Structure 1
Amino acid sequence: MERETPRVVPVAERHKADWRRLYDGYAAFYKTQMTDEIADTVWGWLHDPAHVLNCLIAEDANGKAIGLAHIRAMPRPLSGAECGFLDDLFVDPDARGQGVFEALFKAMDAMAQDKGWAMVRWLTQEFNYRGRSAYDRIATKTPFILYQRETP
């Protein structure tokens, strides 16, 4: 029997519990504490039409959320254009290898085309070997190095 391709939809109120489960998994992978305050803030952003952050949810055949992608517009001053920026991507460990990653990127490609973005960029940690292996199949690794300076 052929496996059904996950369906990707914009996040909706019905996804709240599954979104939180996935977002908690994402935070745990990056060894970051997820609190109700942080999650509630992000959930609010996702449902505020004036906020830049969007969320795509991959669903299985039963409508259960099995993957998420937080994506937003990012200005590119040197080109005078915007591109997409993928902040967070997470696939339920039980759903990995089932086309969720590919379905999320296909939906992001459609979003990028719709918004006129020439590209989507993202960062990942050095130790994210499984993710990097997948990214290496679909994208070009850039020579940029990320720096961070805390606000005094």
Structure 2
Amino acid sequence: MIRRATPDDVTAVTGLIYDLAEYEKARHECTVTEEQIATALFGDTPAAFCHVAEESGKVVGLALWFLNFSTWDGVHGIYLEDLFVQPEFRGAGHGKSLLTALARECVDRGYSRMSWAVLKWNTPSIEFYDSLGAQPQDEWTTYRLSGAPLAALGGR
């Protein structure tokens, strides 16, 4: 079953984010707290949204996303920040069902696109995305500014 996350899911969602960080070999970089997730998803001005996959009453996967905006199309899109299904529940269609729910959000709301990033070594995910008809954006290079360089540029 795929559904929108509720405040009761914050602990499970936070746990899945840490599981994803472990899978991506970057657990040491993950510092998010349940309070931050609760505020981001359910605060006065939510910054992000989340769908969860549930099996037998247990949250086993998530799609955490936020809105972006296309200046060329003049409408919003969805940026999928995290898609993760616990390994023991993979192969049952949860990942595809989560993406289907987000595609439905796009279609229903008139959003023009859904985009995300995938690690180059994550062959199973790349093959899955290819099977859905998703197109890699190889002509673009993603940049990130964080930590000390971000603070320096921001004058702090």
C-alpha spacing 1:38/1:20, structure 2 compared with 1 (3 Å): closer
C-alpha spacing 1:20/1:148, structure 2 compared with 1 (3 Å): closer
Query: Between Structure 1 and Structure 2, how many residues are aligned?
Result: 144
Amino acid at match of 2:53: A
C-alpha spacing 1:52/1:119, structure 2 compared with 1 (3 Å): same
The percentage of counterpart residues that share the same residue type is: 22
Instruction: Compute the displacement of 1:20 (Å).
Output: 2.5
Task: State TM-score, norm by structure 2.
Answer: 0.84
In structure 2, what is the equivalent of residue 78 of structure 1? 72
Q: Partners of 2:129 and 2:12 in 1: how far apart?
A: 24
Q: Any idea what SS the aligned residue of 1:111 has?
A: helix
Alignment of 1:30-69 (within 5 A): 30=24, 31-33=26-28, 34-35=30-31, 37-48=32-43, 50-60=45-55, 62-69=56-63
- Residue number among 112, 127, 133 corresponding to 1:133 in the alignment: 127
Q: Any idea what SS the aligned residue of 1:126 has?
A: coil
Structure 2 residues not aligned, in runs of 5+? none
Structure 1 residues 14-50: Cα deviation after superposition (integer angstroms, max 9, x where no partner) = 3233222211101212213333x54421232111252
Superposition RMSD in Å: 1.6
- Greater relative CO, 1 or 2 (CA 8 Å, sep 6+): 1
In structure 2, what is the equivalent of residue 98 of structure 1? 92
Structure 1 residues not aligned, in runs of 5+? 1-6
